A and B are shown apart, each in its own frame.
Chain A
Amino acid sequence: MKLSEDEIRRITLTAINEMGDDATPELVKKAVSRAVSKLDTQPDFSKSTSSNQGRLILTSFGLNQTGVVAKITTELSECGCDLQDISQKLMDDFYTLIVIVDISGSSKNMSEIQEKMNKIAEALKIKIYLQHEEIFRQMHRI
């Protein structure tokens, strides 16, 4: 384990506070190992925790063709996503589809689902965007 100067300073201060003049090599060793084990339990910010929580909004549009909605929704249900609302509009040959997707119960995280949607979009020559619901709430609700 690599300790920063700051952490070493903190451990030293803790040891001084605890032992004062009564310090013996054993006591120092104990205090240090206790302080170091405490360091280990501090939260690790390097892990991302929020990538498979909450609701996503899927927006898709392109040239209307048979089975577009089926392909997208089948893939989503295979990922274990819950579809909470679907809305579709047709304008001449073009369709727009919006799906509210809850991925809390899914074994896949957002980027894995995005990956699968990208494959469908490429195969059917359509556009599929998958964004977290928060961005819409932030932009359109006060």
Chain B
Amino acid sequence: MPFEFEEILETIKMTEIEHFDIRTVTMGISLRDCVDRNIEVTKQKMYDKILKYGSNHVKYAQEVEKRYGISIANKRISITPLSIPLDAFKWEDFVEVAKTLDKAAAEIGIDYLAGYSALVQKGFTNGELELLKSIPYTLSETKRICSSVNVASTKAGINIDAINLVAEAIKKTAEMTKDQDSIGCAKFVCFANAVEDNPFVAGAFHGISEPEVVLNVGISGPGVVLDAIKAAGSCDMNHLADVIKRTVFKITRAGELLGRKVAEQHGIPFGIVDVSLAPTPAEGDSIGDILMAMGLADIGGPGTTAALALLNDSVKKAGLMASTNVGGMSGAFIPVSEDQGMIRAVENGSLCIEKLEAMTCVCSVGLDMIAVPGDTTAATIAGVIADEAAIGIINDKTTAVRIIPAYGKKVGDSVDYGGLLGKAPIMSVRNINCSTFMGRGGRFPAPTRSLTN
């Protein structure tokens, strides 16, 4: 037999018991050639192009799922940051285009279409300002559109004015989607050092250096890693890192195969595999549970950051060994609402925003899916984003904030979105005023790359 009995059973166990699935196959489509001075023509061109490339996206992904017996949770599309093709338009036009894109997404049956984005780390163009203004309207009037704004980078510094505008947009989005627990905010993320080939929403977009069309894949699989760590029992850190690497190696290889096959079916180039451990609200499919299996009594106490760093570093190393096309975020995600272990830790009072912030220094993204009281001020939200952006640019890594100031809710309540977005307990945030600091505006200069102490 070409494979050992145990090898075959291990694969079956991963997919059937340990929730191993591919989180997303995301098709990136450039919309840079879809612009016309007439907004109606622009809308039609964008709609046609998405249908041209994306019509079979769901069908091909399902065929590949069947062939290999591994499910693909989400089928998505990412587009050129929309402020680029629409730079000459007004904010009302942006909303109209978003509705057309939402219609195209529904037509081809994908889960999300992301790229309602602007890259403003150094400054704004007129179109980018219009896009920022339109975000609350778009997120409240569409279902599948995800938005992101890059406000900082190691090369450019932090655009504080952009952060202040984004914070206002988040507050307004929360209010405009108050009937659905402020769900609009769950579809918006603010980045520092955003990557151009990220297949995960809400932050996916088809970067300006990407080809015409490309297929990226994002893996998942915390459940598989959790079981491997449990099976390893009491071993030292070296061995623990090795166990994580061996497991992630296998799931990366599987992810790459599925991504390549979907790309092959489409006849388009394969881009990257994003080696990210993305949790789901399902029991056992949790990063929090992994950290506890590593030996922590709960998430949020001393040792949490170190445990997460070990996990994150091992995931990256294994991914790089398994595939030459590693890209995107590639690490461990720590979204609160999408992870049972994290939700429990918040409800127990073990995990607070400040500890989460420390954890983002070593994880792959940032403060993700965090619900805070509805009366949190825009200045406080801006302060939280600025802190995260500072961590990102100083440490030369991607950081992000996806925060939900849940309208009308207070600490002790929760918001429940169901599905992959999960349920978020409202976390307390220190309302110590930073409005004078953030109100200074301007640009936080780019950091030095030497004297890194």
Contacts and interface: CB of A to CB of B under 8 A. Distances in A.
B266 A45 contact: yes
A104 interface: no
- Interface bin, chain B: 20 to 34
Question: Which of B67, B68, B257, B266 gathers most chain A CB within 10 Å?
Answer: B67
A135 B69 contact: yes
Interface string A114-142: 10000000000001011111111111100
A61 to B, nearest CB: 8
B1 A98 contact: yes
A15 B60 CA distance: 36
- What's the dominant secondary structure at chain B's contact region? helix
A33 interface: no
Contact of B265 (A45, A85, A89, A96): A45
Given A46-B56, A111-B66, A131-B68, A138 B253 contact: yes
A135 B1 contact: no
A48 interface: yes
Nearest to B268: A45
Contacts of B7: 136, 139-140
Contact of A135 (B56, B257, B264, B266): B257
B8 interface: yes
Question: Which of B7, B52, B251, B256 gathers most chain A CB within 10 Å?
Answer: B7
A92 B125 CA distance: 71
A110 interface: yes
Nearest to A88: B5
Interface string A84-107: 010101000000101010000000
B265 A48 contact: yes
Contacts, number: 76
Given A45-B266, A98-B1, A135-B254, A51 B11 contact: no
Contacts of B8: 57, 59, 98, 136
A140 B254 contact: no
Given A45-B265, A114-B66, A140-B250, A133 B11 contact: no
A51 B63 contact: yes
A88 B388 CA distance: 55
B9 interface: yes
A82 to B, nearest CB: 15
Contacts of A57: 3, 8
A43 interface: yes
A130 B69 CA distance: 7
Nearest to B7: A140
A87 B68 contact: no
Interface string B259-294: 000001111000000000000000000000000000
Contact of B11 (A46, A50, A127, A136): A136
Given A46-B56, A48-B265, A138-B257, A131 B69 contact: yes
Nearest to A127: B16
Interface in B1-58: 1-5, 7-12, 16, 52, 56
Contacts of A51: 63, 67
Contacts of A45: 265-267
A59 B9 contact: yes
B69 A48 contact: no
A136 B67 CA distance: 12
Contacts of B12: 59, 129
B372 interface: no
B1 A87 contact: yes
A140 B3 contact: yes
Contact of A132 (B2, B3, B56, B67): B67
B5 A89 contact: yes
Interface of B: 1-5, 7-12, 16, 52, 56, 60, 63, 66-70, 250-251, 253-254, 256-257, 264-267
- List 4 tightest A-B contacts by C-beta distance, closest first: A45-B267, A131-B69, A135-B68, A140-B7
Interface of A: 4, 43, 45-46, 48, 50-51, 57, 59, 85, 87, 89, 96, 98, 100, 110-111, 114, 127, 129-140
